[in-house]
Amino acid sequence: MESVVIYADYLSQPCRAVLIFCEIAKISYKFHEVRVIKKQTLRDEYAKVSPSRTVPTMIHGDLILYESHAIIIYLIEKFKLKDNWYPNDIIKRALVNNYLHWHHMNLRLGCGWYVFNRWAGPMFYGGILKDLDVICNERREDAFQVLERILEKHKFVGRTDEVSVADIVCYCEIVQMLMVDIDLKGYPQLQIWFDGIGRIPEVQKVHKTFFRLLPRLKL
């Protein structure tokens, strides 16, 4: 079988989520570092690799995927990971899919875009976009409230009883907020869940670079 090839940046949340599943799947993958902040994703030669010029991008044989959730689902199915990560049961899978699609315009817009705007905005847009800042703050607060309500009733964010892909992608997004010193004190259930997911060995391994660099990444 051909090698899985991953183009990724350890400082990107969806990249880390993909790398965690490479570790969980125990596959030997070829890793190519592509740094977003250095505009390496925008280079012409990278367009030949990634049709969307984004990280993560995965190549496996003829298959090119450039969306982290799609990559992770593919890895889980291809390498037959345990059913809890992405359940076969139609209802459990629907709950996980509901989280994965909700994630983009809610948690990711509230966390990832907020940090990106403050960190890279001056370089990419010539400054922090103020309207975007407002929208991101609103979205993040709404998203945290939704997650808190879910975790008052369920063990995991995908409304499942076992840990799933939803928890991993959610953690990777929220941990990015440590760059702006956010805490979760208004969200006690979210804090307990966050600490638990952070103790998963593969999550810890892939976050080593992020935590090592964190003091220098503070905004």
Residues 31/8, Cβ–Cβ less than 8 Å: yes
Q: Which of 10, 11, 208 is nearest to 116 (CA)?
A: 11
Report how far apart, in Å, the C-alpha atoms of 20 and of each of 29, 32, 183, 212 are: 12, 15, 24, 17
For residues 134 to 163, the per-residue mask of contacts with a second copy, x marking binding by CB under 8 A and - elsewhere, is: xx----------x--xx-------------
Number of residues that bind a second copy (CB under 8 A): 38
Kindly identify the residues of this chain, within the stretch 44-103, that bind a second copy according to CB under 8 A. 51-52, 63, 65-71, 73-74, 77-78, 90-91, 93-95, 97-98, 100-102
Q: Does 10 bind a second copy (CB under 8 A)?
A: no
Residue number, 38 or 130, with CB nearest to a second copy: 130
Question: Nearest approach, Cβ of 16 to a second copy (angstroms)?
Answer: 16
Letter for the amino acid at 208? Answer: K
Member of 27, 37, 129, 178 binding a second copy (CB under 8 A): 129
Residue number, 10 or 74, with CB nearest to a second copy: 74
Question: Nearest approach, Cβ of 20 to a second copy (angstroms)?
Answer: 17
Residue number, 15 or 109, with CB nearest to a second copy: 109
Residue number, 23 or 142, with CB nearest to a second copy: 142
Stretch that binds a second copy, among 15-23, 123-131, 175-183, 207-215 (CB under 8 A): 123-131
Tokens found for residue 53: 């010029």
Q: Interface residues with a second copy (CB under 8 A)?
A: 51-52, 63, 65-71, 73-74, 77-78, 90-91, 93-95, 97-98, 100-102, 104-106, 108-109, 129-132, 134-135, 146, 149-150
